[in-house]
Amino acid sequence: MSKSKNLLIIMSDEHQSRALSCAGHPIAKTPHLDALAARGTRFSNAYTPSPICVPARAAFASGKYVHDIRLWDNAMPYLGTPRGWGHALQDQDTRVESIGKLHYRDADDPAGFDVEHIPMQVAGGTGMVWASIRKEDERVYRDTRMLGDYIGPGESNYTKYDAEVTRRTESWLEDAAAQPNNAPWCLYVGLVAPHFPFIVPQKYLDLYPADSIARTKLHPRDGYVQHPWVAKQDAALSSEPAFKDEDERIMAIRCYFALCSYMDDNVGRIMQALKANGLDEDTTIIYTSDHGDNVGARGLWGKSNMYEESAAVPLIVAPPNQTKAAICDTPVSLLDVSETIVDHFDATLEGDRPGQSLYQIAKDAPDPERIIFSEYHAVGAVSGCFMVRKGRWKYIHYVGFAPELFDLVTDPEETCDLASDAAYANRVDEMYEVLCSICDPNATNDLAFADQADLVASYGGREKAITLGASAATPPPEI
């Protein structure tokens, strides 16, 4: 991979890494992303720094771990500190703008963009304050179904918003091509699909007939027992018991993949606009997502855990001069995407950050032992959850609960937890030490709870806090 003049970053929401036909998914239809991968590099082991929207995006903006920036949950949005990749570009007068979903606090905050076009931010500038109440005997259980009241064909406020984000991006690219100075630019585009609600135009739903949907793996009705921490987390926003019947459950799966195809079509429109305006030969495209979605695996929906469906993300980098597909198996993170943006423009950002430019990672020899870290301290979590990926091993640490250990080479579907097997005791100990080299999980857990308690107190206490923030999906702005 090599650098070009311009950089276009497209980040969707809740797109699991496997839901790409170019990644071998049995039913996902993503021709435009496949075309991007066919002339770019797909990073096959990419992860989010936190499997929930606001902390993941704050970490991505700043290039730092969630526990370093202490923006733990969906009520702690990015305000522009610490400074991130957008500020680094602004420092050297590189044009940097955004269109669409950011999930920061407010457009008036100095978040690193010259202009934020129709930004989608946290609800009311506060976000889900009620979800910051995480102690098991105090937390809030919502009556509203997380996935929405209706599941099926149609238009939602999210699909309408994405259509407008795409239209604005087409107009932005036309304007950029007409600029007389031909100066380099960086454009960030935030799409919401395939995030629930699971409502999607009929033509995309038709791509996924009911008989194409395979039986969900590790479903509790088949005897699977959820990890105790996961079961407690899921109980706070339980979706599985809320389905009216099996047909509605199948419809939800169909809608998720249909929304992936809807999003893919919007990516295709953006790629066409890039080419139509003569910008394709000077622009590198990065496509990724903030986190994944469980889509019913283990009886789980949404994100908020460290299984591959939730914590792994798609990541494609396509420079204009690359003509053949490449796959980089070195484990990477969205924090590496942050460093890539800085590196792309030869910019400078002060401070220590754990990421590395994807340009360098792709150039170097494959490094399967590269360590990747993720953490979760948000809605439903009765304690902190931490993930370390090293080589074939994935270790998930739950404060106050037994850990999980998976061999992703022999068990890529994570069906067999090895943590309690005495034969793997040394491996568990080794992975725990790797985790402790990044953060002290107990101290980090205590700090998250303390910060969240302070936040709730700042809004007047629990009774006031439980009224603040969207119940599940953040509403988009008026367009």
Q: What is the pLDDT of residues 285-318, one digit of tens each?
A: 999 999 999 999 999 999 999 999 999 999 999 9
How far is residue 397's CA from residue 227's CA, in Å, rounded to a whole number?
A: 12
Q: Which residue has the tokens 């509403």?
A: 475
| Host H or E run for residue 246 | helix 246-276
Query: What SS3 state is found at 400?
Result: coil
CA 440 remoteness from chain centre: 24
pLDDT of residue 181: 87
pLDDT in tens, 9-42: 999 999 999 999 999 999 999 999 999 999 999 9
Averaged pLDDT for residues 269-284: 97
Q: How would residue 261 be classed by pLDDT, with cut points 50, 70 and 90?
A: very high
Torsion of CA 53, 54, 59, 60, to 10 degrees: 60
Averaged pLDDT for residues 106-122: 97
Closest CA to 139 of 66, 204, 232, 213: 232
pLDDT in tens, 141-181: 776 788 989 999 999 999 999 999 999 999 999 999 999 88
Query: What SS3 state is found at 427?
Result: helix
Encoding tokens for residue 91? 């420092």
Contact 308, 414 (CB under 8 A): yes
Q: 385: phi > 0 → left, psi -120 to 50 → alpha, else beta; which? A: beta
**What distances in angstroms separate CA 437 from CA 60, 268, 347, 388, one per listed residue?**
21, 42, 29, 11
| Host H or E run for residue 337 | helix 334-344
Sign of the dihedral defined by the CA atoms of residues 124, 335, 331, 6, in that order: positive
pLDDT in tens, 354-390: 999 999 999 999 999 999 999 999 999 999 999 999 9
pLDDT of residue 56: 98
**What distances in angstroms separate CA 215 from CA 250, 297, 411, one per listed residue?**
9, 9, 18
CA 451 remoteness from chain centre: 23
**What distances in angstroms separate CA 260 from CA 150, 292, 298, 469, one per listed residue?**
18, 11, 21, 27
| Host H or E run for residue 326 | strand 326-328
pLDDT in tens, 71-102: 999 999 999 999 999 999 999 999 999 999 99
Encoding tokens for residue 170? 């087409």
Pick the CATH number of 6-465 from 3.90.1150.10, 3.40.309.10, 3.40.720.10, 2.30.30.40: 3.40.720.10
